[in-house]
Structure 1
Amino acid sequence: MTYMNFTRRNLLKTSIIAGAAVMSGGGLTLVGRHADAAKEEFSGPLPDIDIGGIIRPPGALPEKEFRSKCISCGVCVNVCHVMKYDAIAPAGFKNIRNFGTPYVKDMRDFPCALCMECPKQCPTGALKKLEKERVAMGMALIDFGLCFGWNGDVCLSCSKACPMGAKIFDFYNGEWGNQPYINESCVGCGLCVKHCPLGGSAIKVVTKRQYEKVKEPYMSGLKRLQAMSNEERYNVVYGQNLPQIMARGRLVEREYR
Structure 2
Amino acid sequence: MEEKVQKTVSKEEQKRRKFMKQIAGFGVLGLAAAGGIWAAKDFKATKGRLRPPGAVPEDQYLSMCIKCGQCLQVCPYDSILLEDIDGKAGVGTAYIDPLARGCYLCEAFPCVLACPTGALDHEANVIEKVHMGMAIVVNESACIALDNQKVTADMIGRIYDHTKVITPEERQSRKVEIFDNDPEKVKLQKELLQKLSAQEGKSCALCAELCPYEPDPSQAIGMIAKDGGLFPEIREACIGCGACVELCPTKVLQILPYATYAEVYEKNKGSNNA
| TM class, shorter-length | 0.5 to 0.7
Q: CA separation of 1:171/1:96 partners in 2, compared to 1, >3 Å: closer, same or farther?
A: closer
Structure 1 position 96 matched with structure 2 position 88: yes
1:121 pairs with one of 106, 114, 119: 114
Pairwise CA distance, 1:121: 0.9
Identity %: 35
Q: Which digits, 9 at most, give the CA deviation of each residue in 1:36-62, with x for residues without a partner? A: xxxxxxxxxxxxxxx952110000011
In structure 2, relative to structure 1, the CA distance for the partners of 1:201 and 1:160 (3 Å cut) is same
Alpha-carbon distance in 2 for matches of 1:220, 1:52: 27
Does structure 2 conserve the Cα–Cα contact (< 8 Å) formed by 1:150 and 1:180? no
Superposed CA deviations along residues 141-190 of structure 1, whole A, max 9, x for unmatched, are 23211112234555321111111211112543145212221124211111
Q: Report the Cα offset of residue 201 of structure 1.
A: 2.9
Q: Tell me how far 1:66 sits from its aligned partner.
A: 1.5
Determine the C-alpha separation between the residues in 2 that align with 1:175 and 1:209.
28
Alignment TM-score, normalising by the size of structure 2: 0.53
Aligned counterpart in structure 2 of residue 145 of structure 1, from 126, 141, 144: 141
Tell me if structure 2 keeps the 8 A contact 1:60–1:128. yes
Higher relative contact order (CA 8 A, sep 6+): 1
Supply the distance in 2 between the matched residues of 1:144 and 1:66 (Cα, whole angstroms).
33
Q: 1:58 aligned to 2:53? A: yes
Q: Is the 8 A contact 2:133 2:241 kept in 1?
A: yes
The 5 Å alignment of 1:3-152 reads: 52-80=47-75, 83=76, 85-104=77-96, 106-115=97-106, 116-129=109-122, 130=124, 131-142=126-137, 143-151=139-147
**Secondary structure of 1:149 counterpart:** helix
**1:236 aligned partner:** none
For this pair of structures, how many residues does the alignment match? 167
Q: Which residue does 1:23 correspond to in 2?
A: none
Quick check: 2:133–2:256 contact (8 Å CA) kept in 1?
Answer: yes
1:188 match: secondary structure: coil
**Are the equivalent residues in 2 in contact too, given 1:168–1:182 (CA < 8 A)?**
yes
Whether 2:233 is the aligned partner of 1:181: answer yes
For residues 175-219 of structure 1, the C-alpha deviation after alignment (integer angstroms, 9 at most, x for no partner) is 5212221124211111112222x2x43221221349888769998
136, 142, 157: which one aligns with 2:206:
157
Matched, 1:205 2:255: yes
Classify 1:52/1:67 alpha carbon distance in 2 versus 1 (closer, same or farther; 3 Å): closer
The aligned counterpart of 2:186 is none
**Structure 2: gaps spanning 5 or more residues:** 1-45, 150-202
Post-superposition CA distance 1:82-136 (Å, at most 9, x none): x2x22111111123351111101x3233111212110011111111132123322
**Alpha-carbon distance between aligned partners in 2 of 1:184 and 1:220, rounded to the nearest angstrom:** 10
Preserved contact between residue 52 and residue 80 of structure 2 (Cα < 8 Å):
yes
**Alpha-carbon separation, structure 2, partners of 1:70 and 1:161:** 31
Q: Distance in 2 between matches of 1:76 and 1:179?
A: 34
The aligned counterpart of 2:219 is: 167
